[in-house]
Structure 1
Amino acid sequence: MRALLVVNPAATTTSARTRDVLIHALASEMKLEAVTTEYRGHARDLGRQAADSEDIELVVALGGDGTVNEVVNGLLHRGPDPEHLPRLAVVPGGSTNVFARALGLPNDAVEATGALLDALREKRERTVGLGLAAGTPGTEDEAVPSRWFTFNAGLGFDAGVVGRVEQHRERGRRSTHSLYLRQAIRQFLDEPHRRHGTITLERPGAAPVTDLVLSLICNTSPWTFLGNRPVYASPKASFDTGLDILGLSRMSTASVARYATQLLTSSPERGPHGKHAVSLHDLTDFTLHSKAPLPLQMDGDHLGLRTSVTFTGVRRALRVIV
């Protein structure tokens, strides 16, 4: 088997020595080419080259969720074709690793490498659904390129938090859960629309849902992790169905405290709920419009401001080693 290993040297939880050990372990089982990323978007370019090659059967992403997202967007640059595209494998190296953990993989890079090798020997894989976001036709965002996401996206509040964290990381701060918590508090205090949301959700065959302050789009569950604690925004979300969405129409101090508590105590059976919460399951197509430009994030990557984004849940988009 010929495989491409995409290595993010800035992965927060793996050292150069650990990465060397993992490369040798993988190379002992396959014909492996290891490439270290050198710029933002490099993993996407490598995934595209692998998709266009005739002999690469497997692409392994060694890094965090951002690295995985880039590789996936490269692999699917011509669209989903799971029977002919290289399979994807993930060795978690980031601070949270939501996609890998949602697949049931160990969060430790060494253990995950062992699990990956076992899965390859036993030919264990699954075909997962993914989310696709694009600028809405007929709007000022129409020309924005489409982009795949593996586990979640968000328009509004949570994307603003992601943007704040990225600013701190660019100044040399490590990505930690405490950093996210502090930036979430600051985003809440600075949020101008927390009492009167600007987001409208439109979907075929249903009345619009208006005045949302927050919109979380989930392709799987959990939504994220706090250390070893899974957090379930949309407990029914699955790689085997369409997309789920959690929307909040109010973010007063009291309601935020209530929904934050519900998130922290959420379970596979129950997520946030209440009169200001909207939960929708297994959506194939829907659009989020905003009266004012809002930040957009996908898989924890801040993508700038948008006023209209159309989301599609694509079942059976990519084969993944599990």
Structure 2
Amino acid sequence: MRALLVVNPRATATTERSRDVLVRALESAVELTVRYTERRGHATTLARAAAESGVDVVVTLGGDGTINEAVNGLLTAPAALAGLPGPAAYRVPALAVVPGGSTNVFARALGLPADWVDGTSVILDGLRDGRHRVINLGRADDRYFTFAAGLGLDAAVIRRVEQARLRGRTSTPGLYLRTMVGQFLTGLDRADPPMTLERPGETSDTGLGTIIVQNTAPWTYAGSRPVDPNPDASFDLGLDVLALRRLSVSGTTRTVTQLAWRSGEPHGKQVLRLHDLADFTVMSSRPQAFQLDGDYLGERQKVHFVSVRSALRVIC
């Protein structure tokens, strides 16, 4: 069995020791090639080339951003795009993830251990036993995502956090909370919600101020605590949505409190929740911050979301 290990050397929890131990462990089970990412988007190039060369498994050591890039490389390889019968999951290499980031939402949502040593053991056992899981993915226009996407407040907070990290700040739950408060109070036009969500055959939902799209639950983690606006979201179903119609101080504070303290699913007249969607489009009267799997991708005024069934095999 041939495998490619894609390592992000700048990932938060990645160390030279962890890389060396992981390489030795994988070399005992597979014919291994190791490549290091050198820039944003490089994991996509590496994973696509691996799929084209007939590699059986792509292993990532990094955070959710590295995983997202690798997934997009696999699913834009010629074999995935060939239009052959059957799910794309069986036309491209399987994916195995070793948690190396600060939050590791995808790995934790799969039920994988948070510790990289334990995570490596799960991968080795899965490779030995031929064990994998086939999951659905989300796609936003032409880019895939594994666990979540967002337009509006959610993505604007990620933009600010990324800017803070470039200035040397460490990614922590406290940094996200402070950034969210600052963005909400100073960075939003709350009086005129600009977004509309359109579903085939349904009445459009208008006047939306922020939108979160989930491919699984939870949406994210605050330290060890799962943050779960749509707890029924699943890798085995379509996409779930949480949207706020107006970002009033009182209404948004109530929703954030419900999420933070897990006091039930978010509810109220300003909350829109949709479950198991196959296809929908978000449009905005002005550009909105946009994120996929925790990476800020600029501003958009229109995004088409699709649930892609049986898209990926994951060793777990």
Report the TM-score when normalising by structure 2. 0.95
SS of residue paired to 2:97 = strand
> Could you tell me how far apart the structure 2 residues matched to 1:256 and 1:234 are?
16
**How many Å apart are 1:20 and its aligned residue?**
0.9
Q: Structure 1 residues 183-192 or 215-224, which shifts more? A: 183-192
> Could you tell me how far apart the structure 2 residues matched to 1:173 and 1:15 are?
19
The answer to whether the Cα contact below 8 Å between 1:58 and 1:86 also exists between their aligned partners in 2 is yes
Paired residue type of 1:179: L
Mapping of 1:36-185 within 5 angstroms?
36-54=36-54, 56-78=55-77, 79=81, 81-134=88-141, 146-185=142-181
**How many Å apart are 1:43 and its aligned residue?**
0.4
The Cα offsets for residues 72-129 of structure 1, whole Å up to 9 and x where unpaired, read as 0000014462112100000010000000000000011111001111122222211110
**How many Å apart are 1:12 and its aligned residue?**
0.5
SS of residue paired to 1:292 = strand
The answer to whether the Cα contact below 8 Å between 1:14 and 1:109 also exists between their aligned partners in 2 is no
The answer to whether the Cα contact below 8 Å between 1:216 and 1:247 also exists between their aligned partners in 2 is yes
SS of residue paired to 1:206 = coil
1:218 aligns with 2:214: yes
Paired residue type of 2:272: V
Paired residue type of 1:266: R
SS of residue paired to 2:175 = helix
The answer to whether the Cα contact below 8 Å between 2:57 and 2:93 also exists between their aligned partners in 1 is yes
> Could you tell me how far apart the structure 1 residues matched to 2:302 and 2:230 are?
22
Q: Which residue of 1 aligns with 2:269?
A: 275
Q: How many residues align?
A: 308
SS of residue paired to 2:89 = coil
The answer to whether the Cα contact below 8 Å between 1:65 and 1:299 also exists between their aligned partners in 2 is yes
Selected match of 2:193 from 186, 192, 197:
197
Paired residue type of 1:94: G
1:302 aligns with 2:296: yes
Could you tell me the percent identity over the aligned residues?
Answer: 56
> Could you tell me how far apart the structure 1 residues matched to 2:4 and 2:200 are?
41
Report the TM-score when normalising by structure 1. 0.93
SS of residue paired to 2:285 = strand
Does the C-alpha gap of structure 1 residues 192 and 229 become closer, same or farther in structure 2, counting only changes over 3 Å? Answer: closer
Q: Which residue of 1 aligns with 2:84?
A: none
The Cα offsets for residues 295-322 of structure 1, whole Å up to 9 and x where unpaired, read as 1000011010111111001111011111
The answer to whether the Cα contact below 8 Å between 2:14 and 2:61 also exists between their aligned partners in 1 is no
1:316 aligns with 2:315: no
SS of residue paired to 1:35 = strand
* Gap runs ≥5 in structure 2: 82-86
Paired residue type of 1:288: V
The answer to whether the Cα contact below 8 Å between 1:213 and 1:251 also exists between their aligned partners in 2 is yes
**How many Å apart are 1:65 and its aligned residue?**
0.1
Paired residue type of 1:51: A
Paired residue type of 2:42: H
RMSD between superposed Cα atoms in Å = 1.2
1:232 aligns with 2:228: yes
Q: Which residue of 2 aligns with 1:26?
A: 26
The answer to whether the Cα contact below 8 Å between 1:5 and 1:34 also exists between their aligned partners in 2 is yes
SS of residue paired to 1:82 = helix
The answer to whether the Cα contact below 8 Å between 1:153 and 1:216 also exists between their aligned partners in 2 is yes
> Could you tell me how far apart the structure 1 residues matched to 2:76 and 2:265 are?
34
Q: Which residue of 2 aligns with 1:141?
A: none
**How many Å apart are 1:173 and its aligned residue?**
1.6
> Could you tell me how far apart the structure 2 residues matched to 1:194 and 1:105 are?
39
> Could you tell me how far apart the structure 2 residues matched to 1:277 and 1:218 are?
15
> Could you tell me how far apart the structure 2 residues matched to 1:217 and 1:86 are?
26
The Cα offsets for residues 239-261 of structure 1, whole Å up to 9 and x where unpaired, read as 01111100001222211221111
**How many Å apart are 1:33 and its aligned residue?**
0.6
**How many Å apart are 1:194 and its aligned residue?**
2.0
The Cα offsets for residues 34-79 of structure 1, whole Å up to 9 and x where unpaired, read as 111111111010011012112x100001100000000000000144
Q: Which residue of 1 aligns with 2:252?
A: 256
* Gap runs ≥5 in structure 1: 135-145
